[in-house]
Structure 1
């Protein structure tokens, strides 16, 4: 659905995108993460033809650029903040953006999907941040585009609205819509993304699947014993990586063998009451990669 090849972008003398290449498969949800200023919004704007850039952008087999982007009729987007006319109702915004046949049916469908019914006919100037955000998402998906690009779509949404948006994105991806989503709320992105692009200082430092990234993440073991403080000392002395945590928490490698730990504790007459495994989440994995990239960058200097 989407292929980006050797994309570069500079603003005057500052280069903000460095030779970025990746592929987005049809029906996949692609997460785009990185620190503020990493180049995420610039990359999205370049794909949408909102700014010029050097490189090749192909969407659904068709080339797209700043001055040649017919294929963008098949793309929906919400970048930074939704463009809202304060004195128009939400429904009028959707009427303004609707294209093609069955417009009334599609408008009502997106109102129902995003639970906009109780305020859709009010002037948009009376909308909260979350209401405006949901209207912006509604406008992005209204015409059933093949590709949807969303920049921080969870901003301003409450937990229930976040859940509803996740379910909607997964439902649409399963019927063939491709999503490129930038978000700082990594816990939400972890629940929906199939693939992940990690940007740092305008460079794509990692392109991976969510499954592979989480499989390679840090793993923890949380123990509860009848003598936690003694158990902490015993395990530290035995060379285990015991974290400075209120719980008795150890960092462990994947496929870890518990038996040596249990033997060590039993030898000191410590009874194990409970054992829990915990995997590091997306946030831990991303921060680790960004730290590694920073260390390499500093070393190169």
Structure 2
């Protein structure tokens, strides 16, 4: 659906985005992750044709260029903060993007905005404005939705609501590119992760690939016999001082084989760093590399 090939974006003479390439397929929820100033928002603006760039961006076989917005009619976006008219009501703001009254009513109900949708936006709280911006991004059933910090200002109930809406739209084939600093929330919905640092892509993987290396510490009633059984069955493991480290995917099979040989698992413990720690570790490694090059 979206193909980004070797894009470079400049602010003056400074190259902000550096040879960035990635693809988004129908129904994918892609998390765009990185530290402040990494280039996430700039990449989103570039995809929307709002900044000058070199390289190639293709959406549904059409080439995107600067200020060429016609081909992006099937793209919804919320960048930085909702672009709304404060002296219009929320309903009137949505009308500017959608001509179908039935769809507006459906969207208002979907996002639970009925209690304030006809009030002037100048009186909205941050969370209310955020939901309005998301509503404007989702009307007209876009094929691709770009959301920059969509959970900003939302309470817990609204966060769960938006999370479920994104999942439902994704199940129907809508693709999402989402930037968020709330990694715990992003982890719950994204199918792919793109990690950006200093304007470069340092990681582009499916979320399953990214977390597929979960390791467990395993203590058994007979370590030596366990090692023999694992070797005989070609199951990878690491031997530590008093325990073995194996992949979480191999635990069930390992347990069955051990029990058949009168060997029992006495303890299992997570040996992997969590999702957020893995992201921080990758960013820190990239920063150390950049510093070493200076």
Question: Of 107, 112, 115, which aligns to 1:115?
Answer: 112
The Cα of 1:70 is off from its aligned counterpart by 2.1
Tell me which residue corresponds to 1:26: 26
Question: Of 146, 155, 158, which aligns to 2:143?
Answer: 146
Tell me which residue corresponds to 2:285: 292
Structure 2: how far apart are the matches of 1:122 and 1:179?
Answer: 29
Tell me which residue corresponds to 1:162: 159
8 A contact 1:50–1:66 mirrored in 2? yes
The Cα of 1:9 is off from its aligned counterpart by 0.8
Tell me which residue corresponds to 1:13: 13
8 A contact 1:87–1:125 mirrored in 2? yes
**Aligned-partner SS, 1:157:** coil
**Aligned-partner SS, 1:97:** coil
Residues 22-79 of structure 1, C-alpha deviation per residue, up to 9 Å, x if partnerless?
A: 0100111110000000000000000001111111000111111114332111111000
The Cα of 1:12 is off from its aligned counterpart by 1.3
1:214-229 alignment, distance < 5 Å: 214-216=211-213, 219=215
1:74-153 alignment, distance < 5 Å: 74-99=74-99, 103-153=100-150
Structure 1: how far apart are the matches of 2:179 and 2:81?
Answer: 13
8 A contact 2:107–2:139 mirrored in 1? yes
Which blocks of at least 5 consecutive residues in structure 2 are unaligned? Answer: 220-239, 256-265
Tell me which residue corresponds to 1:39: 39
1:201 counterpart = 2:194: no
State the superposition RMSD in angstroms: 2.4
**Distance change >3 Å, CA 85–CA 38, structure 1 → 2:** same
1:60 counterpart = 2:60: yes
**Distance change >3 Å, CA 126–CA 69, structure 1 → 2:** closer
The Cα of 1:282 is off from its aligned counterpart by 2.4
Which TM-score applies when normalising by structure 1? 0.80
**Aligned-partner SS, 2:96:** helix
Tell me which residue corresponds to 1:213: 210
Tell me which residue corresponds to 2:233: none
Tell me which residue corresponds to 1:71: 71
8 A contact 1:4–1:21 mirrored in 2? yes
Structure 2: how far apart are the matches of 1:127 and 1:70?
Answer: 31
**Aligned-partner SS, 2:196:** strand
**Aligned-partner SS, 2:55:** strand
